[in-house]
Chains A and B, each alone.
Chain A
């Protein structure tokens, strides 16, 4: 079954520190992968997406993610955390062109940024 696993439901970093949010997918076919951010009481905003082009994907707000097929991973990173990065982050996957093109989400990682 296709699924997404986000390791760590809560991550806390200091302002200026590296942000690393982990995402692993389970699939036998190459997926498209996404990272979304959700601020309190708001919808989902797309940070970045991987669609089988370059494996290192740069997104908005200084975030980037690297697709590693051998590790079935798509971890999200940012070199220096800012207070405004505090939010919930969701990794998602879909399989365009197949019978299923819905987005399958992980359970989310709540990022706290300490001053």
Chain B
């Protein structure tokens, strides 16, 4: 049983560019959350998707957007990249209020 799968694992982008990160949830999970983990920090909640809609949002600017597809997979898009967007982006999936399962993350470096 595959867990949460994220792609790509590493990415290097230039300031001002746009990036799309992808997440496939654990089989049977219908809710996907995205977190940003800056170096030396705990993960910070970006947003959560359920039934293809954004259900909750953390304190992140509109440059961060997302999408959930009918198969529950999800994308995180970041526009107009800043150096400060460099971080590990983690996807977590869950079914209702069961435990969260995290992927291995996408390491984004903005230069």
A binding-site residues for B, Cβ under 8 Å: 34, 36, 41-46, 49, 90, 92, 96-97, 100-108
Contact = CB atoms under 8 A, between A and B. Distances in A.
Interface string B64-91: 0000000000000000000000000010
Interface of B: 4, 6, 33, 35, 40-45, 48, 56, 58, 90, 92, 97, 99-105, 107
Contact of A102 (B6, B33, B104): B33
Contacts of B97: 96-97, 101
Closest 9 CB pairs of A and B: A105-B42, A44-B102, A96-B97, A43-B104, A102-B45, A43-B102, A107-B42, A43-B105, A105-B43
Contacts of A103: 33, 35, 43, 45, 92, 100
A69 to B, nearest CB: 20
A101 B56 contact: yes
A91 B42 CA distance: 9
Contacts of B44: 105
Given A49-B99, A102-B58, A43 B90 contact: yes
A108 B99 CA distance: 19
A107 B41 contact: yes
A96 B96 CA distance: 9
Contacts of A36: 102
Contacts of B58: 102
B104 to A, nearest CB: 4
A46 B99 contact: yes
Contact of A100 (B4, B41, B56, B104): B56
